[in-house]
Structure 1
Amino acid sequence: MKNEALAMVFSEVEKPFLPLSVNLPALATGEAIVEITYSTICTSDLHTFYGRREANFPSVLGHEMIGRMIDLPENGLTDYYGQTLKIGDLVTWSVYAHDHTGSMAQKGIPQKSVPLFKYGHEKMETNDVLSGGFATHCHLRKGTDIFKIPAGISSKAAAPLNCTHATIAGAIRLAGNLLEKNVLVLGAGMLGLSACAMSRYAGAKMVLVMDLDLQRVEIARQYGADEGLPAELALEETLKVIQPHGGIDVVIETSGSASAMEKSLDLLNIGGITVWVGAVYSDRNVNLNAEKVVRKILTIKGLHNYIPEDLSYAIKFLETTHSLYSFERLVGTEFKLTELDEAFNVANAFGKYRVGITPN
Structure 2
Amino acid sequence: MPRPSGRLAAFLGPGRPMEIREYPVPSPEPGAALVRMTVANVCGTDLHQWRGEFDIARLGRPYPQVLGHEMTGVVAALGAGAGRDSAGAPLAEGDRVVFRYFTPCGRCRACLRGVSRACPDARGYLREPCSRPPHFNGAFGDYYYLRPGTSLFRVPDNLADAVVAGVNCALSQVVGGFDQVGLGIGEQVVIQGAGGLGLYATAVARELGAGQVIVVDGRAERLELARRFGADRTIGLAELPDPATRAALVRELTGGWGADVVVDVAGHPSAFNEGIAMLGRTGRYLEIGNLHPGVTVPVDVSELVFRNATVHANFYYEPAHLASALGLLSRTRDDYPWDAVTGRSFPLAEINEAFLAADRGDVARVSVTP
What TM-score, normalized by structure 1, do the two folds share?
A: 0.93
Aligned counterpart for 1:325 among listed residues 328, 336, 341: 336
Q: Distance in 2 between matches of 1:229 and 1:102?
A: 43
CA contact (8 A) 1:331 1:355 kept: yes
How far has the Cα of 1:140 moved from its partner? 0.7
CA contact (8 A) 1:60 1:121 kept: no
CA distance in 1, matches of 2:20, 2:269: 38
Separation in 2, partners of 1:130, 1:240: 48
Cα drift, residue 273 of structure 1: 0.8
User: Which residue type is aligned with residue 8 of structure 1?
Assistant: A
Q: Work out the number of aligned pairs and report it.
A: 358
1:244 Cα offset (Å): 4.5
Structure 1's consecutive aligned runs of 4 or more residues displaced over 6 angstroms after TM superposition are: none
Match of 2:81 among 70, 75, 79: 75
Say whether residues 1:173 and 2:179 are aligned partners.
yes
Same amino acid, percent of matched pairs: 28
Amino acid at match of 2:265: T
* 1:240-255 alignment, distance < 5 Å: 240-246=249-255, 247-255=258-266
**Alpha-carbon shift at residue 191 of structure 1 (Å):** 0.8
Equivalence for 1:192: 198
Read off the aligned partner of 2:254 and give its amino acid letter.
Answer: H
Which residue identity is paired with 1:250? V
Aligned to 1:7: 8
Partners of 1:350 and 1:181 in 2: how far apart? 30
Partners of 1:144 and 1:45 in 2: CA distance: 21
User: Which structure 1 segments of 5+ residues have no match?
Assistant: none
Partner of 1:275: 286
State the 1:120 CA deviation.
5.1
**2:301 pairs with 1:290:** yes
For residues 237 and 8 of structure 1, the distance between their equivalents in structure 2, rounded to whole angstroms, comes to 41
Report how far residue 228 of structure 1 moved.
0.7
Q: Which segment is superposed worse, 165-174 or 123-132?
A: 123-132
Between 1:277-286 and 1:40-49, the stretch displaced more is: 277-286
Tell me, what secondary structure is at the counterpart of 1:287?
coil
Tell whether the 8 Å contact from 1:76 to 1:84 is kept in structure 2 after alignment. Answer: no
Unaligned runs of 5+ in 2: none
Structure 1 counterpart of 2:109, from 88, 103, 111: 103
* TM-score normalized with structure 2 length: 0.90
Q: CA deviation at 1:268?
A: 1.4
Structure 1 residue 17 displacement after superposition = 2.1
Residue 65 (structure 2) aligns with: 59
Matched residues in 2 for 1:233 and 1:322: separation?
Answer: 37
More off after superposition, 321-330 vs 280-289: 280-289
Mapped pair 1:217 → 2:218: no
Q: Give the CA deviation at 1:177.
A: 3.3
Matches of 2:251 and 2:160, distance apart in 1: 36
> How big is the shift at 1:58?
0.4
Cα RMSD after superposing both structures: 2.0
Alpha-carbon separation, structure 1, partners of 2:229 and 2:183: 20
Structure 1 position 299, deviation (Å)? 0.8
**Superposition deviation, residue 350 in structure 1:** 4.6
Report if aligned partners of 2:103, 2:122 keep a CA contact under 8 Å in 1. yes
SS in 2 for 1:144: coil
The equivalent position to 2:319 in structure 1, one of 291, 304, 308, is 308
